Amino acid sequence: MPPPLLKPTRERQLIRCGHGTVAGLDEVGRGPLAGPVVAAAVVLDLKRIPKGLADSKVLSAERREELFLEILASAAVGIASVPSGEIDRRNIRQASLHAMCRALDALPCRPDAALVDGNDAPRLPCPVHTVIKGDASVPSIAAASIVAKVVRDRMMRRLAESFPAYGFGSNVGYSTAFHLAALADRGPCPFHRRSFAPVRLAEAGLRPEAVGAVEA
């Protein structure tokens, strides 16, 4: 069953209030043990909204790739990432907020307002409106979630070419049983987040499986 059609209700409300340009923001990659956190900012053309926008997590990889190209062809897009070392220095929350700020800065236009997924607002140079589960209800946020997910997955597939033992091509850095076993056997690679408990355990020569695995 296709996802329900998302209507730009919140975007239109802000435009009616005098905000001529409204960006949707989302980030991907808070939970993985390796790789960057990636954020995207998207300003949709409300007359050319791609059909089928939805939370990136409910879409197939093939559909995300299709929508990614449609979004790039019809909207203004800014993308930014924060690498694992900076995540360790800042902490994952601050790194995620920083990535969203940088994504907004990367837009080719200056938004008058921003709609952000969740309830944690980054400090942006425009009014910010947070929306719980906005990636499933607000088209510009859904578009941002798709862009960020596709970009991050591509980055992790490239990492998999250099570090094939960890299964990054399929788990994209999440703590699957395969990934945790590889961490235990080989220790972390340079792109693992050493501030995350399973990676710290593996670096100390302990078994990270004790922390538990998740599905990618």
pLDDT at 95 over 90: yes
Name every residue whose Cβ is closer than 8 Å to that of residue 171 and which is 6 or more positions away in sequence.
178, 179, 216
Report phi then psi at 69, rounded to 5.
Answer: -65, -40
**The CATH fold of domain 9-158:** Nucleotidyltransferase; domain 5 (3.30.420)
Q: Mean pLDDT, the chain, as a whole number?
A: 94
pLDDT at 23 over 80: yes
Per-domain boundaries in the chain? 9-158, 159-210
pLDDT tens for residues 154-176? 999 999 999 999 999 999 999 99
Task: Output the pTM of the full model.
Answer: 0.93
Average pLDDT value for residue range 184-191 = 95
